[in-house]
Amino acid sequence: MALADGDVLESEEPAHEQQVASKSSGISGESKNQFRVQTEFSRGLGDWLIDQQVGLVCSSYLTGYLLFIGVRANGMLVPSAASFSHAMGLVADSQRIYLGTKNEIWRLENILRPDELANDMFDRFYAPRSAHLTGDINIHEMGVDADGNVLFVNTRHSCLATISATHAFKLLWKPKFISRLAPEDRCHLNGLAMENGRARYVTACSTGDVLESWRGGKRDAGVLIDLDSDEIVSDGFSLPHSPRVWNNSIYLLESGRGYLVRINRQSGKREDVTFCPGFARGMAFVSHYAVRHGFALATCEFRRVADRRDDESQRRRTALRVVGHRSAQWRYRCNGSGSGAMSRNCSMLASFITFAVRVE
């Protein structure tokens, strides 16, 4: 699984660490990405990808990368990366990827036929095929509805939107506490949960109605909103992101506290599922696994949640999948300088993926 004009990095041992210099995809419209990417994998991650028959893709706006992780039949992990300016919102399936960047929404298509391989390695090869100009509207999470329409959270204007043939975006919905559309990021609307081919829930970091009211205010002002009823389902979250509907419950990442949270759809009652190290944003369910993406500045230490012997009942109900000596993860580090807001002030950006499993 790779992207045309992207860099490829192979790892012969799952825990082996290597690095590769970034090569710009030539489509970001900005200067060449100066970050260097290092990857490190948990032992057993390749086997897990084979068992689940999946590949992974994530975006990193701080480094400007779209990153892939695939696996060969022998379990060898094959990561690859390509530069996109401010790579952010992402929705993907096995044949198509939509990516929200600083000023565009890119459509990437798998150009390989069934049973065809690129470079005797990749069974998916994604090439950019079109881009829709939106301007800098700070696109966060994205989805595709049952009719094939691309939906996205327009964080700059505090609304849910879709592509317009004549304007930067077409308004679909805005919270009732937002009095008007304005490019002011009033509540930091960010997460989008799809259900049965339609947008169902969103998250916001506050219910403020003035310029960037979510910054510097109450720490636990975040909310989960039901789009059907236009009502707040649950509140009191610290920087909530990435709501998902799974097994008739709502899950989200409470990034400010570092927890994966489960919410009862009827009562709105919430419970912590497990701790997620780093600042978690972006999540997808694969079978009983919640795959989440996060980042942290400087070196991170990863906790083996499944080995918390002081809470046996919690350990039985839910835990991080432990493979080898650490929680299953793909970690990459980007060293150097770049155009990200934080990149000039840090020498290393550590980013990683961990797998949470809900045990019945």
Is residue 329 within 8 A of residue 352, CB to CB? The reply is: yes
Domain that holds residue 152: 134-275
Q: What percent of the chain stands above pLDDT 90?
A: 47
Q: Is position 261 within any domain? A: yes
Q: Write the CB contacts of 51 (distance below 8 Å, at least 6 apart in sequence).
A: none
Q: Is position 224 within any domain? A: yes
Mean pLDDT of 186-197: 96
Dist. CA 350–CA 343, nearest whole Å? 12
The tokens for 33 are 């990405």
DSSP notation for 24-85: --S-SSSSPP--EEEEEE-TTHHHHHHHHT--EEEEETTTTEEEEEEE-TTS-EEEEEEE-T
Q: Among 57-71, 137-151, 182-196, 245-259, which stretch is predicted with the lowest mean pLDDT?
A: 57-71
Query: Which pairs from 210-213 meet CB under 8 Å and 24+ separation?
Result: 210/184, 210/186, 211/184, 211/185, 211/186, 212/184, 212/185, 212/186, 212/188, 213/186, 213/187
Is residue 328 within 8 A of residue 45, CB to CB? The reply is: yes
Q: Is position 90 within any domain? A: no
H or E segment and range at residue 312: helix 312-317
Q: Is position 324 within any domain? A: no
* pLDDT one-digit tens code per residue, 207-250: 999 999 999 777 899 999 999 999 999 999 999 999 999 989 99
* pLDDT one-digit tens code per residue, 312-331: 333 322 222 222 223 344 55
R_g (Cα) of the chain, nearest Å = 20
Domain with residue 246: its CATH number is 2.120.10.30
Dist. CA 99–CA 31, nearest whole Å? 19
Q: Is position 184 within any domain? A: yes
The tokens for 333 are 């580090």
pLDDT computed for residue 353 by the predictor: 64
Q: Is residue 253 predicted with pLDDT exceeding 90?
A: yes
**Any idea what the Cα angle at residue 196 is, between residues 288 and 145, rounded to 5°?**
115
Q: What is the total count of domains within the chain?
A: 1
Q: Is position 227 within any domain? A: yes
| CA separation, residue 122 to residues 46, 118, 119 (Å) | 15, 5, 7
Q: Which amino acid is at 20?
A: V
pTM metric for this prediction: 0.80
Q: Tokens 């009983």 identify what position?
A: 288
Dist. CA 256–CA 222, nearest whole Å? 10
The tokens for 105 are 């929404």
Q: Is position 81 within any domain? A: no
Dist. CA 328–CA 317, nearest whole Å? 18
